[in-house]
Chains A and B, each alone.
Chain A
């Protein structure tokens, strides 16, 4: 990672390399740049949403080396050299939706959609390890994400539906 000072502010900047959805990107950011902002502002990947910016709502959840993390609780610089998956990277290249995305469509698992990217990423990672959840598991899987619209019932249904769809596709 190379560093230099921003000529205007004098603030340190760093060149950070991120592999996002299979493609390497290089951005120059100050050390305090949150990963969520690097994704949204520097890389223009606005699918990752920012709600609370202190780890509580889960809207900003992305996969870091395959594991879900809060992108608002990571510095972009800390993710240098790492592999990230955002909601933009879930569907197949031909546009076929990921089973979790399809399940949200099937079960009407969203209303305004603000929380959806975070739920989708969290559930996609959850189902990889727990392919056969029951209703309680499905609710617990989402307990770290907040939704102001749906009342969670249709999201719970989407978890179960996604598990069903995944069993079909092996994803």
Chain B
């Protein structure tokens, strides 16, 4: 299958790209931004998308930076999954990013696909939207009209639907660094390593100095249609990390996540995975939080994780 005809544009300056997107919008012309193309090209070839214009952003300068600071990690629109996965500073501050990225497709796809593009694609079967939902953060959108930061809960409107306007370009995304004493984990079940998950869970557990659970949250991949994070604190808050009822938190999640059936798995099997993987991810995250107990002091030093 081949894409339908379109007019191809490859602007080399951000302002030119924004101007082009603005003019195409004003003219009522359907345009698509092309980043890594690892989701858009299949959609074009299968003719699930037939835009009149494709705006390739790969020649734009200044969008390929990863910036790490006390607040978290900022990722430019042209950072490939593989580049972010290999970024030592980002991995030190947010180990969850690397854990999740290793589950995103195969290295060959990660060489080209961008992390910001994955967020824009807003696929509930993708790992990074769950990570952004869990950690919190924002997508930085630019257009001729200016710049706005769209917070994670407002960014994902539905399956394959983001809050970006047709004339907006996502120039970066910011992943927040969780509070001190927080551990994170990512677990998923897929038919083969690198395939889309049958079900995946990203979890974060925050413990206090006495080793008691203060907060427990999880976000899901391929579980249902939504992209968002659940507060599971009700099942485990206040308990010591060694005795917390992680299985109860899993059951709480099972009741909260509306799973769906498809050719890969039934809704019932997915719900079972939600319960089991939630318990496992929370326990792993709690163990990480325990290891992180030194960071109650050191996390206050902004330079610490950035090295």
Q: Do A and B come from one complex?
A: yes
A binding-site residues for B, Cβ under 8 Å: 1, 9, 11-12, 14, 30-32, 34, 37, 53-55, 58, 61, 64, 67-70, 72-75, 77-78, 80, 122, 126, 140, 143-144
- Does the CB pair B112–A74 fall under 8 Å? yes
Smallest Cβ distance from B96 to chain A, in angstroms? 21
Smallest Cβ distance from B123 to chain A, in angstroms? 14
In the complex, which residues of chain A have a beta carbon less than 8 angstroms from the beta carbon of B6? 31-32
Residue in A1, A34, A61, A126 whose CB lies within 8 Å of B45: A34
B107 at the interface (CB under 8 A from A): yes
**A69 and B10 in contact (CB under 8 A), knowing A54-B46, A75-B41, A77-B56?**
no
Q: Which residue of A lies closest to B54 (CB)?
A: A31
User: What is the interface of chain B mostly: helix, strand, loop, or mixed?
Assistant: loop
Q: How far is the CA of A32 from the CA of B8 in the complex (A)?
A: 8
Q: How far is the CA of A80 from the CA of B10 in the complex (A)?
A: 10
- Does the CB pair B8–A54 fall under 8 Å? no
Q: How far is the CA of A70 from the CA of B45 in the complex (A)?
A: 14
What are 30 residue pairs bridging A and B, where the CB atoms are less than 8 Å apart in the complex? A1-B10, A9-B5, A11-B5, A30-B5, A31-B54, A32-B4, A32-B8, A32-B44, A34-B3, A34-B41, A53-B45, A54-B1, A55-B42, A58-B106, A67-B82, A67-B111, A68-B108, A69-B111, A69-B112, A70-B108, A70-B109, A70-B112, A72-B41, A73-B41, A74-B37, A74-B41, A75-B41, A122-B108, A143-B106, A144-B105
B151 at the interface (CB under 8 A from A): no
- Does the CB pair B56–A75 fall under 8 Å? yes
Minimum-distance CB pairs A-B, first 10: A31-B8, A144-B106, A54-B42, A32-B3, A73-B41, A67-B111, A68-B108, A69-B112, A11-B5, A143-B194
